[in-house]
Amino acid sequence: MATTTTKTGQPFDRDVLDSLLRRTGFYMPSFEIYGGEKGLFDYGPPLTALQSNFVDLWRKHFVLKEKMLEVDTTIITPEPVFVTSGHVAKFADFMSKDPKTGEIFRTDHLIKQVLGARLKADQDARGKTIEVEKPDEPQKKKKIKDVKIEKLDDAVAQEYNETLAKLDNYDGEGFKQLIEKFEIKGPTSGVDLDPPKPFNLMFQTYIGPSADKPNGYLRPETAQGQFLNFQKLLEFNKQKMPFASASIGKSFRNEISPRQGLLRVREFLMAEIEHYVDPEAGKKHDRFEDIKDTKLTLLNRHTQLAGSEKTEVMTIGEAVANKVVDNETLGYFIVRIQDFLLKLGIDPSKLRFRQHMANEMAHYAADCWDAELYGSYGWIECVGCADRSAYDLTVHMKKTGAPLVVRENLPEPRKFKEYQIELNKKKLGPKFRKDAKAVETAVEELSQDMREKLSLDLKDSGKITIDTPSIGNGKTELEKDLISIEQREVTQHVREYTPNVIEPSFGIGRILYHLLEHTFWTRQSAEATDEPSARNVLSIPPLIAPIKVLIVPLSNHADFKPFLRQLTSTLDDLDIANSIDDSSASIGKRYSRNDELGTPFGITIDFQTVKDKTITLRERDSTKQVRASQEDICHTIEALVRGRETWEQVSKRLPEFTSQEVD
């Protein structure tokens, strides 16, 4: 477990938070009464409400503010879509099997765990001090290093750290070599592991009753559904570029070994944006100027490749100008992601953006940064922000023929020279028969540079050789009676291009779990009660707290009932989630239970209320209270929940109320 502290500087204890979350019904293992199923969790009322508030905030922050086109596409996806997108071939993690115990591990996680444990043992051995008596001064004790067998050679420890810093950069062969080099064995058996094998993470399924073999998948991301609707969305946007689509929905990944609670699950809610941008305009962003001075904590790929995790703080303006971040649009979204996470209540000191290393990125991606959050599981990717170039739209267009392109009328006709190819189809068909189409496609895909080179070859030798990976030995020869390549002047009135895509991709469960870790702390000064958990607090910001106000009557006295009814109905009318606790527990205990649920405000109704219609308002983190009329308190709560006023401002404006009875 990584070391982390709460906002008050106390060591964070994951077991305490976990037991709080389970006891108060934030989440529970799915199918628990059937024994449960790894990597599947149900959210109870507090976490479901928190998730809804997250989604609401996300829609306001991104979809509404950025005028995105939100879509809701299907989860069940026919196989050809994921064959074309490359997921069937490549959406895999490497797994290592222990031949003796049958246990299966995700290879990179196993290596990380083993090297991490060795480094920890090394640190313990180096840092541990034992006390020995100096023979000449028996009364004085001297601290010496306890050199244990676990202590690593300096060079080895450094190599371990360097390997861990760039672990995401390895593939199957690389992992195999690491396992051999570092002598990593089955953790329980101690025997050699089978060589790492790729395991595709998609769940396969049968669509319809007549399928005799699996013919579909549950989507592992929402992105493809958005890409396939590109043409319709562009039309909806009146052909105007740039624009973005967005989608919030469930995704599914058959994770090899889901062992990190809510962080690695097999079914999870994602929120994804696909922002389409003209690559020729340098991926500039209209509002970059507004955010260019925002500071970010960045861990770039060069630092990681040098075996270090040292971050640097710089403005996004500097990062883009120095090409640390590839372009303005990518930079704009990195800043908007940071703004969102901070609004949510993420601790800024536990947020960094890490750049992907070359091998870690999909081969088509131009640049990719993950928002990583720090917690008891170490640094964890919670939002990916990738420049996917034109890859997805291009492959789907090639496969289906659908014009997933932008066509723009040029203000002035554009004249330029290009190499054009003509094939003699009368001869091509009979010569290549079933392969003729593949040859034609390979020719059409030749770049202008290649066409120029081949036109010279054709002139010199009367024939050319092109790459045709799906035919014979992968090369095809074409003689000049089959093909001609000429440079011609072209006048263009309409420009046609495939947009590039910048994709911020949020895993909602991972962010929510970190929010809970970041906002959890234990109150030291509370009164002792007979509940062991009484002092735990979740300081979830009012904006997204599941319930905003708890209403507590001093007792069950009938005189309090009309006030309860009136208050709850006023708060309901203001759209402020509230609950009533009229149980017989002491007011202090009732508030403590709600501090654990992250409820930011509490209202007490007491005999003073009956006399003068005033009520008290308590703030969760400070436990301070103010007293005012019902109307004033309800509007104050509204201002606090909508972020129009802070508690500091309220506590200066309204008279403080002190009562031993309440906290």
**What residue ranges bind ligand ATP (CB under 6 A)?**
253, 255, 264-265, 268, 270, 381-384, 505, 507, 509-510
For 448, half-sphere exposure in the C-beta direction (CA atoms, 13 angstrom radius) is 6
- What is d(CA 293, CA 296) in angstroms, rounded to the nearest whole number? 9
**Whole-number Cα distances in Å, 482 to 432, 451, 478, 479, 485:** 11, 15, 6, 6, 11
Nearer residue to ligand ATP within complex by CB, 225 or 507: 507
- How far apart are CB 18 and ligand ATP at their closest, in Å? 17
Strands 536-538 and 520-522: antiparallel
Q: State the minimum distance, in angstroms, from the CB of residue 184 to ligand ATP.
A: 20
Contact 444/385 with Cβ under 8 angstroms? Answer: no
* Amino acid making up residue 114: V
Name the minimum Å distance from CB 283 to ligand ATP. Answer: 20
8 Å CB contact between 598 and 540: yes
Residue among 265 and 603 whose Cβ is closer to ligand ATP: 265
Nearer to ligand ATP, 90 or 425 (CB): 90
Contact 378, 393 (CB under 8 A): no
Nearer to ligand ATP, 386 or 650 (CB): 386
Q: How far is the CB of 378 from ligand ATP (least distance, A)?
A: 12
Cα separation, 661 vs 663, in Å, equals: 6
Question: Parallel, antiparallel, or unpaired: how do β-strands 351-355 and 312-315 relate?
Answer: unpaired
Q: For ligand ATP, which is the closer residue by CB, 505 or 625? A: 505
* Cβ atoms of 526 and 535 closer than 8 Å: yes
> For residues 417 and 489, is the Cβ–Cβ distance under 8 A?
yes
Pair 634, 570: CB distance under 8 Å? yes
Place of tokens 């509230």: 578
Residue whose C-alpha is closest to residue 509's, from 278, 328, 266: 266
If the CB atoms of residues 87 and 535 are measured against ligand ATP, the closer one turns out to be: 87
Measured between alpha carbons, how far is 214 from 91 in angstroms, rounded to an integer?
A: 17
Sign of CA dihedral 208, 214, 215, 217: positive
Closest CB to ligand ATP among 509 and 553?
509
Q: Give me the least distance between CB of 82 and ligand ATP, in Å please.
A: 14
Nearest distance, CB of residue 23 and ligand ATP, angstroms: 23
Q: Cite the DSSP H helix spans in 104-171.
A: 107-127, 154-165
CB 371 within 8 A of CB 351: yes
SS3 (DSSP) at 573: helix
Minimum distance between the CB of residue 363 and ligand ATP, rounded to whole angstroms? 15
Q: Min. distance of Cβ 103 from ligand ATP in angstroms?
A: 19
Q: How far is the CB of 88 from ligand ATP (least distance, A)?
A: 16
Please tell me the number of Cα atoms within 13 Å of 81 on its side-chain side: 22
Between 85 and 505, name the residue whose CB sits nearer to ligand ATP.
Answer: 505
User: In the complex with ligand ATP, which residue's Cβ is closer, 384 or 598?
Assistant: 384
Of 242 and 507, the one with the shorter C-beta distance to ligand ATP is 507
